[in-house]
Amino acid sequence: MRKFVRQRVRPLTLPSVEKRSRVTLATVRRLALALPGVEEGLSYGTPGFRVRGKFLARLWEDGETLVVKCGDDERDFRMQADPETFFITDHYRGYPTVLVRLPRVTTADLKEVLEEAWRRQAPRRLVAEFDRERGK
């Protein structure tokens, strides 16, 4: 007769995932206002950001979602790569915008999306100056 011996099984350790600090409106504000020419104001009654008067992003009414006008290609890429963080609703279908769940997004991803949106909306001269200063 076989004897069963209880053994301690170590839990499976997964590769470390980037530690996420919670992204808030303050984070969005810091990242957006760091881009040249961006101003904060109200958009549909919520905090929003524009570059030289052109819409860039705004906080959705739920307070935890950001609407970003980043372009069709960037939106599609982000939604395919991380659909739990980047999504659209029927209202935004056909528009070059993506909705971003702030509690799920990393600061690095949000920075990239905001910069892409800024590049689409900012005057070419402002973008060229920004790139020169960054050595691009």
Task: Summarize pLDDT for 18-69 with one digit per residue, the tens.
Answer: 455 789 999 999 999 999 999 999 999 999 999 999 999 999 999 999 999 9
Domain spans, the chain? 31-130
Task: Summarize pLDDT for 102-133 with one digit per residue, the tens.
Answer: 999 999 999 999 999 999 999 999 999 999 99
Residue 80 pLDDT greater than 90, yes or no: yes
φ, ψ (nearest 5 deg) of residue 118: -60, -45
pTM: 0.82
Neighbour count for residue 63 (Cβ, 10 Å): 11
Pick the CATH number of 31-130 from 3.40.50.720, 3.90.1150.30, 3.40.1440.10, 3.40.50.300: 3.90.1150.30
Contact 58/25 with Cβ under 8 angstroms?
no
Q: In one letter, which amino acid is 123?
A: P
